[in-house]
Amino acid sequence: MKDPGVFFEAFRTFDTGAGQQDLKPEEWHKVPVSEVLGVQQGFLIMISKIIEMARLLSVCILDPSRVRMDQCADYAIQVHKHRKILTADLLSSGWNGELVKDVMPLPFQLEGVAEDFEIVLACCRLKTGEKIMFGSKAQGRLHQSFAVLQDMLTNLLDAFTCYDDLLVQSIITESTDLARLVDDFRSMYRFRDGKSPDQAKATDAYQDILDAVKSANHSVAKICATLLELGASCPISTEVHEDTFKDSVR
């Protein structure tokens, strides 16, 4: 690894772009897709849009609103566009070739999380169209899974803006716990033999959602492993305060 500090230093001067100076970090998902954002902005806004997808889906699982589902689908489209722009920006960044090679999988892994969320979105649409009903326990387990995943993604955004080994390690630990939790939830949801067609549809949708959560969880863990490798080779101080970023977007 050569000069990984370039990667982390890039996030010290984050700017959401002209006209977006007043946006708080929790509102970065509102920044439109643009080819002029640059590498660091592209990563942060891409993650922010994925977090917003997770937030919308956690509600849709319990109350599948058409408006929320359409918003989620729009964010998915934006994430796919961001991935294409971000990979092109990486190739033209002027960073060391070895660093680009190590960082290049990250946009694709983030896009993979969005693709997993699109599977969950399809299940929510099917649930609405087919009038599929989950039991209260099943709904609670799905909501809990998404709450954990959303927390992981929020911490991942923090790790990009203010890298810290302990934070990244905590996300990996949370990922291990979530994988175990999802496996437990799958084993808990079993219907007796002779289940009705509606029960079979509910079972399939429930397990498809859990499989998507498990896949997204795996992608987040892989991203964190890459960040740890970058951080281990990074000689710079990673202590950055929130006020630094407030100043940088003014």
Q: Kindly report the CATH number assigned to the domain that includes residue 152.
A: 1.20.58.220
Per-residue pLDDT band at 1 (split at 50, 70, 90): very low
Token code pair at residue 177: 């716990």
* Residue (of 79, 240, 49, 77) closest to 154 by Cα position: 49
Token code pair at residue 163: 């890298």
Per-residue pLDDT band at 236 (split at 50, 70, 90): very low
Identity at 158, one-letter amino acid code: D
> Cβ contacts of residue 135 below 8 Å, gap of 6+?
none
Cα separation, 164 vs 195, in Å, equals: 49
Token code pair at residue 214: 């498990």
Q: Write the pLDDT tens digit of every residue in 87-113.
A: 998 888 887 888 888 899 999 999 999
Per-residue b/e over 145-179, b at no fewer than 16 CB within 10 Å? bbebbbebbbbbbbbbbbbbeebbeebbebbeebe
Total number of domains constituting the chain: 1
Reported pTM: 0.84
- Domain ranges, residue 10: 5-248
Flag whether pLDDT at 84 surpasses 50.
yes
